[in-house]
Structures are given as C-alpha cells and as structure tokens.
Structure 1
Amino acid sequence: MPTSPTSPATATDSPSTDSASRATGAPPEILLELVDEHGTTIGTAEKLTAHQAPGLLHRAFSVFLFDERGRLLLQRRALGKYHSPGVWSNTCCGHPYPGEAPFAAAARRTHEELGLSPSLLAEAGTVRYNHPDPASGLVEQEYNHLFVGLTRTAPRPDPEEVGETAFVTPAELAERDASAPFSAWFHTVLDAARPAIRELTGPAGGW
C-alpha cells in the first residue's frame, strides 16, 4: 500500500533486509516515490508492489551515454534480475529514492551498475508511459526523467546487475533489435530522448 513520503535515509536497504532478501530469493525491500500525472510526489510504495498489475505511477529515470565516436552504450540486464532479466536496454534505468533528485539518482546508479561516472550528464526531458512486461506480468507505470551524456571510460559492470555491455551505432542497434529482446520501455524512452541525443551527438551521428 502507498505510504506517506519518506526521507532518503529510510528508503535505503538495511543490511538485515538485504541479507534476508538474498536468502529467500526475493528482491530487497526498496521504496519508490509515487507521483501524479504532473510528476508531483504523492507518497511512496514498495518497489515490487508498485510494479504489480495494474501498476502504481512512480518516478524513474533513464540514462543514455555515448562514447567519443557517438555510439550508444547498451546494457543487457543480468539474468538474476526479477524484472526483465536478460534483455537489452539503454545505458542505465532506475528509480530515485524518495526525496532523491533524479539527476543524483541517475549518476549514482550509473556508477553502481557500470562502474563509471559520465564526463557529461544533462537533463533531456520527461516521458510518462504504461508498459506491461509479458514475461513477468509486471507493469511499468512510470514518470521517467531522461538524461543524456558522454563517457570516456570503459564500463566495469556489476555482474549482479549487468550481464553484458555494447557500444552501438544506429545501424548496429537496428540489427541487434531485430535479433535480440529489448526491454518493454526501451523504444519509448529512446524516442523521447532523441532530440537531446541529436543535439549531443550532432547530425553526423545518425540518431
């Protein structure tokens, strides 16, 4: 059930909660920030609860990082993840803790998952969507803050979060998309971020 807004400190996992979650195979209990259709905070809910059908609208973020050649960094989500395991997606996706700024959350989570800090990270608007995941039955009801940026270092992914990474051109992305599964939200967030991506990479980038 949704609760009243919670401070970032109380939203993080405690060691005992995280250990118990690993022992039972359940994801650790993490609180997400619930929002209305305008992105205004209205409360919090446990992460898995927020994603169970029909889904609770919550705040999220998506990051798109590019290298010096204008190639997009993709990640394939680890097979052990309970939501959308083993599928390709954009550089990094996640949820701010209640009260945490989306920009700070995007930078934090990019480092946690991929072991890198962007040399540039900029806001790229927001997008609201409702995407069921047929494989898991979970639902992404998200008010998503978009970020684009540059990286000059090779990723060092956490294997519990990321199974594989790849830098791709637009043509290589199309080829991969035709032969491998992508996250349900990938094309929605990519299309919403395209104006900022084109401004970042220039017309020669082809995005």
Structure 2
Amino acid sequence: MAITPATTTQQASEGTAEAILLELVDEDGVTIGTAEKLAAHQAPGQLHRAFSVFLFDDRGRLLLQQRALGKYHSPGVWSNTCCGHPYPGEAPFAAAARRTFEELGASPALLAEAGTVRYNHPDPASGLVEQEYNHLFVGLVQAPLRPDAREVGDTAFVTPAELAERHAKDRFSAWFMTVLDAARPAIRELTGDAPGW
C-alpha cells in the first residue's frame, strides 16, 4: 500500500522533490507497506515504524531537544534527544544514528538498542496522530553539539530533578513520557550511578 500525495518532500540526489515514505507495520512490527509521511499521521493515523533516542553526557544528564518552530508536527515542544522515522528498508539503528547527526551535528559515542514500544498519541494542537511502533535507543554523546536550526530550536542537558521541573512547566511532545518510561530499564543500566532515572 503506497499513499504518495506531494505534501512532505525531500530533495533527491538529482535535485527533484519526492515524497518521504514511512514503513507501515503490523502490531508485531512486520512491514506491510509504505505511506507518505503526512498521510500516515493524519487521523486516525496509520501504524508505522519510528525510533526514539536518549543520549546522556558523562555526568549522567539527559540531552533534551526543543523541536524547531518550523516543524509541521509538534513545533516548539521539548522532547527526547532525537526521534524520527527510518526510510523504508533502513534499519532503525542506522536511522537513529543518521538523524542524531543530521539534527544535532554530533554522532553518538555509544548507541544501544533499548526495546520497542507501541502507542497511539493524538496531538491536540495539530490534529495529527502518532500511531507508532517505536524502536528505542540509549547512548552517550560528547560536546560540542551543532544543532540544525531547521530541526532544533534549543537543547538542554538535564538531571532527573531538572527534567521533572521542566516537564511541569514547559510543553513536551505527546509521546515523550511513553518513550521515556519504556526506555527507563536501559537508561538505568547505561547511567549506573546516576540516581533518579
């Protein structure tokens, strides 16, 4: 199944615009087709493959990203280090490493799989829906960061206490707590002596 309206595009190597396709999956994460990115997020949403990355510094602080105001989905909200969608046929691990570098200008010093989580989160502000089979990754990052301003509005390294304080007063992505909670066992294993995660 392929739905390809010309709404969300990327520049192909020859300079022409083409639709960005996502992998549609079943409840077990098996690929069943593709859909254009925006179409997959329109209500009620189509279940598709995604990834979420949680990177930490050498002090055990989580790197948060504020999504750029120009993004079509959830602009200006805070979220985990990086999240996105693999291209059809692209391994989630490779996609997570690629997008982390594209968005933040830094490659993970370490990146490890942390399981999967399936969720359905509508975004009240945009009316879009996240129906995702999400592959989770945790790892380490070292400065300096060079964020792409088209993708990232701001970044912050936070302790668990600082995250709780920020989460209480700032807007976060609809999926943030779901992916954080699902990744916590791997985060605790990674951070070891950093209390609170």
TM-score band by shorter chain is over 0.9
**CA drift at 1:205:** 3.0
CA contact (8 A) 1:12 1:97 kept: no
| Aligned match of 1:119 | 109
Alignment-derived partner of residue 22 in structure 1: none
Mapping for residues 10-159 of structure 1, pairs under 5 Å: 13-14=11-12, 15-17=15-17, 29-159=19-149
* Cα shift readout 1:108-131 (whole Å, capped 9, x = no counterpart): 000000000011000000000000
Q: How many Å apart are 1:88 and its aligned residue?
A: 0.1
Gaps in structure 1 of 5+ consecutive residues: 5-10, 19-28
Secondary structure of the residue aligned to 1:85 is coil
Alignment counterpart, residue 183 of structure 2, candidates 178, 193, 196:
193
Q: Hey, what does 2:158 align to over in structure 1?
A: 168
Counterpart AA for 2:82: C
State the alpha-carbon separation in 1 of the partners of residues 103 and 10 from structure 2: 16
Q: Offset of 1:154 from its aligned partner?
A: 2.4
Aligned-pair CA distance for 1:168: 0.1
Q: Separation in 1 of the partners of 2:128 and 2:81?
A: 21
* Structure 2 gap segments, 5+ residues each: 4-8
Say whether residues 1:3 and 2:2 are aligned partners.
yes
CA distance in 1, matches of 2:36, 2:63: 29
| Alpha-carbon distance between aligned partners in 1 of 2:160 and 2:59, rounded to the nearest angstrom | 12
Give how far 1:152 is off: 1.6
3-state secondary structure, aligned to 1:64: strand
Query: What TM-score results when the alignment is normalised by the length of structure 2?
Result: 0.93
> Per residue, is there more strand in 1 or in 2?
2
Deviation at 1:59, TM superposition (A): 0.1
Rounded to whole Å, the distance in 1 between the matches of 2:154 and 2:106 is: 15
Segments ≥4 residues shifted beyond 3 Å:
none
Count, aligned residues: 190
Query: TM-score, normalized by length of structure 1?
Result: 0.89
Q: Shift of residue 69 of structure 1?
A: 0.2
| Per-residue CA distance 1:146-189 (angstroms, 9 max, x = gap) | 00000122211000000000000000001101110000000000
Counterpart contact for 2:10–2:17, Cα < 8 Å: no
Partner of 2:6: none
After TM superposition, the structure 1 stretch with the greater mean CA deviation from structure 2, 149-158 or 172-181, is 149-158
- Could you say what the CA RMSD is over the residues aligned between the two structures, in angstroms? 1.4
